[in-house]
Chains A and B, each alone.
Chain A
Amino acid sequence: MSPTILVVDDSKSSRKVNLALLRELLGEQASCLEANGGEQALQILSEQAVDVVLLDLTMPGVSGFDVLSEMRKRELTARVIVISADIQRVAKERVASLGASGFIEKPIRMEPLRAMLAQLGIAHG
């Protein structure tokens, strides 16, 4: 079954890069959705099944931290890979404690994303 992946970032150019990398790594295997912020992401997550979320942290309004907290509260089971420029050790620890499966530093590169998706059983390592 093809996975559904939700790309969440307030930056259009970042979403574009993430979607291009997903296409490169997964071809037509995955169905990709995008959200321009935390609020839209939570809306999509409440309406349809999503397997993996690529989540930015620093966004206006509902932040990535807020999205993770809300997903936990609603018991949403999508796995989350955080993709962020917030590279503080504490930020990484916090997203892990909120249930994120992994953390990739911005600017994103192909290999860390491939490795992370492979860990989740979605791409070949």
Chain B
Amino acid sequence: MAEELFDEDERDVLGETVNVAMGKAGATLADAFSGFVNLRVPEIRAVSAADLRATRARLVQTYERISVLEQEFFGEFAGTIAVVYGPASYAALRQVLGFDDREGDGRRQREELLLELGNALASTCVLELGALLEMRTGLRPPRMMAFDVPTKDADWHLFGELESLAGQMLLIDIVFHLEAHDVPFELIVTVQAACIPLLKQVLAKRI
């Protein structure tokens, strides 16, 4: 668990940094919906392969169907960020943005929409984290890993390397709750184990 990687002070500084990045991403989402997004305290913890399996199981329980955008980031701050759209968040998007998905090309239009919004959320969050932590990072192009599929069938890069994960990585789970539509949007960030030593050095300077 997180206690083994980060002490209380390190977790505190990291939590505040994530809060600021989450605030920026939340404002992006609020702008897209012209609404208000309830921000909750993000969950930040060190995870092993077993913990990641539990996270995946929790997602299967939470969302019957799912759309997932993933984006890898690289450099001193490296990992994967996933934007999770449950059925309710997708319905809210359809209502707010007013697109018609009965047409033949509706699927492509919907995918592009989720890709665009997810890319905005993911890049805001990751680039802000990198800037605040003063750790160099860059983003690879986003990919829709799943589009409106049963959650158990979703193909996640984020969970793809579970079997080869020997140690621990950092997991950040952010839930935005879109107030007017009563739906959650979830961001899951994993930071590679190789980045942890530098991250700890950065945090130590701020304690």
Report whether B13 and A13 are in contact in the complex, using a CB–CB cutoff of 8 Å: yes
Q: Is B200 an interface residue (CB 8 A)?
A: no
Q: Is A59 an interface residue (CB 8 A)?
A: yes
Name the A residues within 8 Å of B26 (CB-CB).
86-88
B residues 1-55 near A (Cβ < 8 Å) are 9, 12-13, 15-16, 19-20, 22-24, 26-27, 30, 35-37, 39-41
A residues 96-114 near B (Cβ < 8 Å) are 106-107
Report whether A60 and B41 are in contact in the complex, using a CB–CB cutoff of 8 Å: yes
Report whether B35 and A90 are in contact in the complex, using a CB–CB cutoff of 8 Å: yes
Name the B residues within 8 Å of A90 (CB-CB).
30, 35-36
A-B contact count (CB 8 A): 58
A57 to B22, CA, bound (A): 13
Closest to A65 in B: B38
Report whether A12 and B12 are in contact in the complex, using a CB–CB cutoff of 8 Å: yes
A57 to B41, CA, bound (A): 10
A86 to B177, CA, bound (A): 13
Q: Chain A at the B interface: mostly helix, strand, loop or mixed? A: loop
* Contact indicator per residue, chain A 62-94, by CB within 8 Å of chain B (1) or not (0): 000000000000000000000011111111001
Residues of A in contact (CB 8 Å), total: 20
Q: How far is the CB of A36 from chain B (nearest CB, A)?
A: 11
Which single member of B9, B12, B27, B206 contacts A88 (CB below 8 Å)? Answer: B27
Report whether A85 and B9 are in contact in the complex, using a CB–CB cutoff of 8 Å: no
Report whether B23 and A87 are in contact in the complex, using a CB–CB cutoff of 8 Å: yes
Most buried by A among B9, B16, B24: B16
Q: How far is the CB of B94 from chain A (nearest CB, A)?
A: 22
Most buried by B among A10, A58, A60: A58
Name the B residues within 8 Å of A60 (CB-CB).
41
Name the A residues within 8 Å of B20 (CB-CB).
85, 106-107
Name the A residues within 8 Å of B27 (CB-CB).
87-89
Most buried by A among B13, B19, B26: B19
Name the B residues within 8 Å of A10 (CB-CB).
41
A88 to B179, CA, bound (A): 13
- With A88-B27, A88-B30 in contact, is A58–B19 under 8 Å at CB? yes
Report whether A13 and B36 are in contact in the complex, using a CB–CB cutoff of 8 Å: no
Q: How far is the CB of A10 from chain B (nearest CB, A)?
A: 7
Report whether B132 and A13 are in contact in the complex, using a CB–CB cutoff of 8 Å: no
A5 to B54, CA, bound (A): 44
Report whether A14 and B16 are in contact in the complex, using a CB–CB cutoff of 8 Å: yes
Name the B residues within 8 Å of A91 (CB-CB).
36
Most buried by B among A10, A11, A60, A94: A11
Which single member of A11, A88, A89 contacts B16 (CB below 8 Å)? Answer: A11
Residues in chain B within 8 A of chain A (CB atoms): 9, 12-13, 15-16, 19-20, 22-24, 26-27, 30, 35-37, 39-41, 132, 206-207
